């Protein structure tokens, strides 16, 4: 290949890749409504690079670059590995004004949908302005660089309950959540995940401690799907919730359902036998398997194997561990 052809190939490769380095997180329905879009940009070090950064990157790989076409291909292949198309979308379809004693505030209904799925996969939560504000402050402490250009709707002294202000904030919070989720390190952070799941989990565990197993189970089953999708890269993190579901089903005398969720929890702990839930869960599963007429010998062998390797220490029961979660 002569030099002109080589430069032309490089130029075409750059143009082709540059067109594919930004993914829109807006669903077709959003485009129809002409609402603001959040975008995910590909990069090497930062999850949300500036436009100038992308321009600088392109400039450094101009047709006059000393990189060969093969090197360019490898470079962009590595770039693309850093991109992750958004898997969840956020909608805020409605609000409600709450008046409680001397306080008055707006609750924003947030619907979280998995892309390419029907409503069966949606999660519905409610958050108020102060919840968003607290999230923003917490994220700034840990991700000041990534949050540098993330805008947050300011408080106003008056007019907070007017239809105009509420509508503006609905759109602003919707795009705010999308933008946060588009940044890998933020969407995986405990602070972001807690914002979306912790209030519901706290309520569920409160019901569990109070013996309200039906109500606790209802909430836990609502939140487990969202929690699992948010922590897909760390499945062990949902083990406490799965075990709480086991406890609820067991106390409600639904051994088959308890065993089903116990198996899911055990599958996540297969490589984490030192986890505090592992032995209490094994003991509970042995009891459930015996009650259901299932094979419990393999579970018993795992338990004996673990005890042979470890010094005898006090082990809490599964229920004792569950009631200790989310204690203020």
Confidence of residue 181 (pLDDT cuts 50, 70, 90): very high
Nearest C-alpha neighbor of 38 from the set 46, 51, 27, 29: 27
Confidence of residue 73 (pLDDT cuts 50, 70, 90): low
Per-residue model confidence (pLDDT) at position 291:
96
Instruction: Kindly report each contact of residues 148-154 with a partner whose C-beta sits within 8 Å and lies 24 or more positions away, as own/partner.
Output: 149/48, 149/50, 150/176, 150/179, 150/180, 151/176, 152/176
Q: In the predicted model, what is the mean pLDDT of the chain?
A: 80
User: How wide is the angle at C-alpha 106 spanned by C-alphas 198 and 193, nearest 5°?
Assistant: 20
Q: Which tokens is 176 given?
A: 């705010």
The domains located in the chain, with CATH, are 88-195 (3.30.1520.10), 197-323 (1.25.40.10)
Q: Residue 147 CB: number of other CB atoms within 10 A?
A: 19
d(CA 180, CA 171): 14
Confidence of residue 43 (pLDDT cuts 50, 70, 90): very low
If DSSP codes are grouped into helix, strand and coil, which group holds residue 73? helix
Tell me, what DSSP letter sits at residue 121? Answer: G
Share of the chain above pLDDT 90, in %: 60
Q: Which of 6-10, 38-42, 60-64, 258-262 has the lowest mean pLDDT?
A: 38-42
Per-residue model confidence (pLDDT) at position 185:
93
Per-residue model confidence (pLDDT) at position 27:
40
Residue 159 scores a pLDDT above 80: no
φ/ψ of 270, rounded to 5, equals: -55, -40
Per-residue model confidence (pLDDT) at position 62:
42
Confidence of residue 34 (pLDDT cuts 50, 70, 90): very low
Choose between 115 and 56: higher pLDDT: 115
Confidence of residue 77 (pLDDT cuts 50, 70, 90): low
d(CA 119, CA 93): 14
């Amino acid at each position: 290949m002569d030099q002109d052809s080589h430069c032309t190939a490089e130029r075409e490769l750059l143009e082709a890749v540059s067109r594919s380095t930004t993914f829109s997180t807006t669903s077709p329905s959003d485009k129809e409504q002409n609402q603001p879009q959040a975008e995910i940009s590909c990069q090497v070090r930062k999850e949300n690079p500036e436009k100038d950064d992308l321009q600088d990157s392109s400039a450094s790989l101009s047709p006059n670059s000393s990189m060969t076409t093969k090197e360019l291909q490898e470079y962009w292949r590595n770039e693309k590995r850093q991109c992750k198309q958004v898997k969840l979308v956020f909608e805020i379809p409605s609000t409600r004004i709450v008046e409680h004693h001397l306080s008055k505030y707006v609750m924003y209904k947030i619907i979280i949908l998995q892309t390419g799925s029907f409503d069966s996969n949606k999660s519905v939560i409610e958050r108020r302005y102060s919840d968003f504000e607290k999230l923003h402050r917490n994220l700034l402490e840990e991700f000041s660089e990534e949050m540098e250009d993330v805008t947050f709707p300011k408080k106003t002294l008056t007019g907070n309950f007017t239809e105009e202000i509420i509508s503006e904030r609905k759109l602003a919070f919707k795009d705010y959540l999308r933008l946060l989720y588009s940044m890998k390190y933020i969407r995986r952070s405990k602070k972001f995940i807690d914002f979306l799941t912790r209030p519901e989990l706290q309520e569920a565990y409160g019901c569990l401690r109070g013996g309200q197993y039906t109500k606790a189970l209802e909430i836990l089953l609502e939140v487990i799907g969202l929690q699992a999708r948010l922590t897909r890269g760390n499945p062990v993190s949902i083990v406490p919730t799965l075990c709480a579901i086991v406890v609820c089903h067991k106390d409600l005398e639904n051994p088959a359902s308890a065993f089903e969720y116990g198996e899911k929890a055990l599958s996540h702990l297969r490589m984490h036998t030192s986890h505090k839930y592992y032995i209490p869960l094994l003991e509970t599963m042995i009891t459930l398997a015996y009650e259901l007429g299932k094979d419990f010998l393999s579970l018993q062998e795992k338990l004996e194997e673990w005890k042979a390797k470890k010094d005898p220490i006090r082990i809490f029961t599964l229920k004792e561990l569950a009631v200790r979660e989310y204690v203020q």
